[in-house]
Structure 1
């Protein structure tokens, strides 16, 4: 631990010493949680995610106790509201795996067994609107999201109300009309997305205003690009084979053409979005998980209280 910043830094070894409890996940559960081109080991869970979930458990229980005290003081005039955790980071960095794993581990605590997970992909504008506005090539950029709808949704959740999140299909690469994920006052809500820590001069309220804790999953751009390209090749052999897939047109490309396409998409869209919009939000997170070249967490930063 070192540095005169607002963060305390832990090496993986230092962090792992904070929690000695055994991991209760099975190998099968781990396999179900990991992303397409990620290898999630039991050691990773024990060293990194068990201490993180125990820390989050302390935060959640402290928040619950504070609510009970305030509710008593105000003669039970306040509703219990979910504890909201935001998870940000680049495309292909492994945010979804981190979110799913935290959901699974946090739900094992008796004090907060109901843990829901929402991704902000559902708050992208439908493709027809992106096409009308001529920003299909900016999908994932701040302007491609229905930010008002997202803020209304999370505001309702933080008011102790039930709310419905739109659902996005990665297969069809579009919002599923008429479909929705009902979030009904869970103990914890995890909100995962590349844009969750972004601020905009056009809005007075930001999504992150409603977060109780935020995490940024980080890695060097060279590694993220490699992971993106690896995943693109794997999807070409799996999901793209489905005739309903938006990317079905690419299934018969040669290896060289597929590589060039993936590199172009990364360079023109994802890398640009990472540098301009996502990476600048890293310092707004309360915790930063730094990944090495094999998706393993090598260092953890935690904002000082």
Structure 2
């Protein structure tokens, strides 16, 4: 048994071989639009890691669709199209958003599930006003800063095949939920849910977000590497988004390089690393598949839960 417990370990070459003959229907231009700010994902990475992964997910989606059909036949009723829901978890700055967008693009090109939607849990954070009232601004991103009841209600409706379900939107400029603005999820074949705490459990509630997942991923890396990526991203944002007058972080735009690195390090140590160690990393073993990144941002190992 490896350090990850009851998971089967694949090095990059063994995992890439599971691609079989699945084609890569993705251009360099499309990949550039999918990438995060400082993510170094390449077409080779898509071929070696994400094409085998989408092949595995495709098999699971088809199996779920078949099971729904035979169950409906047994019950003598028409099958209801219910989305296959995928959860993606991991630390801030580990590359979850890029993985989510890449999987959305690749999975939509399989004929059995062309309609793929993506939501992030950022929209289910409490608004800044509420966080300030609760004294939680310094713990934004921690489990208690999310309206988990609203998120579970959303997933329940989507799971039941309900049409036109609204997911709240979030602005990374204002660092707040956008009032009265929503994304409409209309009965997709696959729904991807991306967020740092989507695999979280709590003794205070009987139902968990992950209860609605058919498959889940955890993006893993050494904390020191994630810290480096977080600081790099902070410096990039300082030269771009932070310069927007409406940006919540506009006050950091004029810091010199040394001051910016120091401030990013403080935020990482006092908030993000604490959240990673207390809440996010302990959920890793609950995932169905773990993608392990190296310092170069490339996936070096894949761990698949044993059946």
User: What TM-score results when the alignment is normalised by the length of structure 1?
Assistant: 0.98
Please say which of residues 124-133 and 64-73 is displaced more in the overlay: 64-73
Equivalent residues of 2:69, 2:79 under 8 A apart: no
Q: How does 1:125-274 map to 2 (within 5 A)?
A: 125-162=126-163, 163-274=165-276
Q: Distance in 1 between matches of 2:98 and 2:180?
A: 27
Distance 2:142 2:4 in 1: 33
Q: Which is worse superposed, 4-13 or 179-188?
A: 4-13
Per-residue Cα deviation, 1:34-55 (whole angstroms, up to 9, x for no partner): 1100111111000000000000
TM-score by length of 2: 0.97
Superposition pairs for residues 276-291 of structure 1, below 5 Å? Answer: 276-291=278-293
Instruction: Specify the SS of the correspondent of 2:141.
Output: coil
For residues 54-93 of structure 1, the aligned pairs below 5 Å read 54-76=55-77, 78-93=79-94
Asked if structure 1 preserves the Cα contact closer than 8 Å seen for 2:25 and 2:109, the reply is no
Matching residue of 2:116: 115
Unaligned residue ranges in structure 1 (runs of 5+): none
- Which ranges of structure 2 fall in alignment gaps of 5 or more residues? none
Q: Distance in 1 between matches of 2:4 and 2:62?
A: 29
Instruction: Report the CA distance between 1:80 and its aligned residue.
Output: 1.9
Per-residue deviation, 1:2: 6.7
Q: CA deviation at 1:249?
A: 1.2
Distance 1:4 1:93 in 2: 18
Following superposition, the deviation at residue 256 of structure 1 comes to 1.1
Corresponding residue for residue 8 of structure 1: 8
Q: Which aligned runs of 4 or more in structure 1 are off by greater than 3 angstroms?
A: 1-5
Distance 1:225 1:26, change over 3 A: same
Q: Distance in 1 between matches of 2:2 and 2:248?
A: 47
Q: Tell me what 2:39 maps to.
A: 38
Shift of 1:7: 1.0
